[in-house]
Structure 1
Amino acid sequence: MNKRVVVLGAGYGGLVAALKLAKGTPAGSVDITLVNKYDYHQLVTQLYEPAAAAKRDTEVRIPLKKLLAGKPIRFVQDVVTKIDPKEKVVTLEGGELSYDYLVVALGSETEYFGIPGMKEYGMTLKSVDEARLIRTHIERCFAEYPLDPRPELLTFVVGGAGLTGIELVGEIADWLPRLCEESNIPREQVTLYNVEAMPSILPGFEPDLVAKAEEVLKAKGVIFKVGSPIVQVEPGAVHLKDGGVIQSRTIIWTGGVRGNQIVVDAGFETEPRGRAKVNEYLQAVGYDDVYMAGDCCFVLNEQGRPYPPTAQLAIQMGNSVAHNLAADLQGRPKTPFVPKILGTVASLGGRDAVGKVGNNYKASGRVAYFIKDLSQIRYLAKIGALMK
């Protein structure tokens, strides 16, 4: 009887793991089932673009039917509700799946840090549906303003100045002039804030790149509030720790992630923010038949701190999981996972960006944007998305 491998999640880590495992095992030797809530793969790192009308939704979602065509992978569109690693059973909204090996790549959930009102009144950007909601909400604010000219309708707040927050605020800043022209509203009546609890934007980026990003975004009208934690959100108001209040109907929260609650509830060993602990082969602690990939788990760098949850890390984890799982199935030695961080580039809207590639090369402007675009094309080629 073939070994049954169930992969939970078709994000970067899960999709790559399933595709590589199918390619790296003899035909007919393993039954692979991929479970995902949606019938498409989401380019989560690009969601800021449809959120600000820079791309269509269809440009950041790829039908799984296309990606899995001709592959020995069974796709199940369903929602995971429970994992029982002792019984080797996954419960879905529509039934159950038993497995011999499990790959958990369910991604992360939003971390609200206990900020009152943030979950209730803030929007997040973790799916194509949420990107559409943000875009529609901003357009509605512009539509309402001529009929009810309250300043809070045209005051927009992006909470968090990490990669997602900066890329989103840059794209919104580029979008605002078009919205103003369409609505016949002067640009000076629109305010765009980026609020960050830390003393600087883009943590992990070098100071000269941070300064360049600030310069570019300020020129587009972005107002930064750094070192200013949000302490409460209520309808129409964002309260800051320094006592300041921003009157706004729009707060988009990009300030943090935590592990998936399903992973916590399954009893896997996790750190305080709910991300699963794994060994050097990306197996869940205490479970040799369960592999983890992506934001639902973490690995430590040389300084003993977790690597930031990024797409490139998830992709590399997916590759490693497939390699080691195939080794298990074929009785070969496994290989420890060693991340190779190739650099990080942050889009600033339009065709502008800042970033670092490898250990030494820094880039900004169109060159940095080209590097980011090239990285995206390489990934699409890897998963077969560029094939007709």
Structure 2
Amino acid sequence: MSNIPKIVILGAGYGGILTAQRLQKELNYNEADVTLVNKHDYHYFTTHLHMPAAGTDHMENARVSISKLIDEFKIDFVKATVSQIRTQEKKVLLEDGSALSYDYLVISVGGETETFGIPGMKEYAMSIRSINSVRMIRQHIEYQFASYKQDESRLDRLTFVVGGAGFTGIEFVSELADRMPELCKQYDVDPSLVKIYNVEAAPTALPGFDAELVEYAMNVLQNKGVTFKIGTPIKEATPEGVIVGEGELIKSATVVWAAGIRGNRIVEEAGIETMRGRVKIDDYLRVPGQDNIYVIGDNSLMFNPEGRPYPPTAQIAMQQGVTCANNIVAAIRNQQPVKFVFSNKGTVASLGKGEAIGIVGTKKFKGFTAAQLKKMIDIRYLFIIGGIPLVLKKGKFL
């Protein structure tokens, strides 16, 4: 039994869960010991977090128990937080003091918020990164409305600033705008007093979409009450709000930062060479010079045929997970690995209830059609990881 190779997967996000599921499908019993490590006993849908964060959906709809996704006769699940990766010793240390040894390691621990060194951002802004952070944001927003009724001079409590107009920023600000009428009614607040700002340093919102779809998205959100400040960097976050552009202060009690992600520092601390926390992996998803270590998802850095880095999306992480598992099985069986080739299935951004924009191949979609496409993509993912039972349980909430 001691000669059986040990596979350790760190993280049960999109990449990690797909790696585990493909390994349990491809490996025979007693062909390898597979351990999945995650700090929570649930897998959550990162692409759905903007809804419970704004309060337009319940956070339970954004997660599912890991025990329902894996075969625990084939995969050993360990609920723990990783404290250190020791590549020389082929060991992973956990915060409870225990250690796991491995022959093959899959690093899929997810990224961290990147603040680009903006002063005060870590101290005074919130971010949409986990179920717990989402819970905090939702409760914070509701608290601002309740507090405003105690002191109606504090208009900053009704002013909301979202930094970043990429996917996360736009999708969150869309849900936030949809939530406002309900909160105003619930707390007896004049809707005209509520201000929502979306601030973006880049010259355009939603990079990756063409100008026509971006214009459509911005018009939809402006009609919902969102004020855009595009090409305007946030210079500093303070206890009073944010300083933007040439020194303008937007007074706000709620700043949500959604403008950047970097690799996990635990990877850098392992002595693996990184670029802003992300590992420039080889064509087979391996760390250069360490063929037994695979890095997928937010911590991996791969370039498209045009030489630009792929963005850290759920779609890429899922496809990497499948290829990663196949290549580990190939290594165990002394077979040839396969190169990872990304297949773009399309991109859809939600703009709130009944609205979205999307690109699939050369076709562009907007409005209700794009919103239905987004729903289909989400249901497809539920089916991939949990089959019909998970679709029936969660699909109706999408």
TM-score, L = length of structure 2? 0.95
Cα root mean square deviation, aligned? 1.0
Give the conservation status (yes or no) of the 8 Å contact 1:268–1:285: no
Shift in Å, 1:386: 3.9
Correspondence for 2:264 among 260, 263, 266: 260
Corresponding residue of 1:207: 211
Corresponding residue of 1:222: 226
Correspondence for 1:239 among 233, 240, 243: 243
Give deviations 1:292-343, integer Å, cap 9, x for gaps. 1100111101111110110000001101101111111111111100101111
Is residue 2:376 matched to residue 1:366? no
Is residue 2:133 matched to residue 1:130? yes
Separation of aligned partners in 2, 1:227 and 1:183: 34
Question: How do residues 1-388 of structure 1 correspond to structure 2 at under 5 angstroms?
Answer: 1-69=3-71, 71-94=73-96, 95-149=98-152, 150-271=154-275, 273-358=276-361, 360-384=362-386, 386-387=388-389
Shift in Å, 1:387: 2.3
What amino acid is aligned across from residue 334 of structure 1 in structure 2?
P
Shift in Å, 1:39: 0.3
Q: Which moved more, 1:156-165 or 1:361-370?
A: 361-370
Q: Secondary structure of the equivalent of 2:291?
A: coil
Shift in Å, 1:51: 0.7
Structure 1 alignment gaps of length 5 or more: none
What amino acid is aligned across from residue 123 of structure 1 in structure 2?
M
Shift in Å, 1:103: 0.4
TM-score, L = length of structure 1? 0.98
Q: Percent identity?
A: 47
Check 1:66–1:34 CA distance in 2 against 1; reply closer, same or farther (3 A cut): same
> Segments of 4+ in structure 1 off by > 3 A?
none
Q: Secondary structure of the equivalent of 2:51?
A: helix
Give the conservation status (yes or no) of the 8 Å contact 2:24–2:71: no
Give the conservation status (yes or no) of the 8 Å contact 2:196–2:227: yes
Give deviations 1:145-172, integer Å, cap 9, x for gaps. 1111111000000000000000000000
Q: Secondary structure of the equivalent of 1:68?
A: coil
Shift in Å, 1:385: 5.5
Give the conservation status (yes or no) of the 8 Å contact 1:67–1:385: no
Separation of aligned partners in 1, 2:170 and 2:162: 9
Give the conservation status (yes or no) of the 8 Å contact 1:145–1:153: yes
Separation of aligned partners in 2, 1:68 and 1:21: 10
Give the conservation status (yes or no) of the 8 Å contact 2:20–2:70: no
Check 1:70–1:98 CA distance in 2 against 1; reply closer, same or farther (3 A cut): closer
What amino acid is aligned across from residue 354 of structure 2 in structure 1?
R
Q: Which moved more, 1:51-60 or 1:32-41?
A: 51-60
Give the conservation status (yes or no) of the 8 Å contact 1:91–1:97: yes
Give deviations 1:150-205, integer Å, cap 9, x for gaps. 11000000000000000000000000000001111111010000000011110111
Separation of aligned partners in 2, 1:28 and 1:329: 12
Separation of aligned partners in 1, 2:339 and 2:346: 21
Check 1:265–1:214 CA distance in 2 against 1; reply closer, same or farther (3 A cut): same
Q: Which moved more, 1:86-95 or 1:236-245?
A: 236-245
Q: Secondary structure of the equivalent of 1:223?
A: strand
Shift in Å, 1:67: 1.1
What amino acid is aligned across from residue 293 of structure 1 in structure 2?
I
What amino acid is aligned across from residue 300 of structure 2 in structure 1?
C
Give deviations 1:117-143, integer Å, cap 9, x for gaps. 000000000101111111100000000
Shift in Å, 1:219: 0.3
Structure 2 alignment gaps of length 5 or more: 391-398
Separation of aligned partners in 1, 2:266 and 2:388: 33
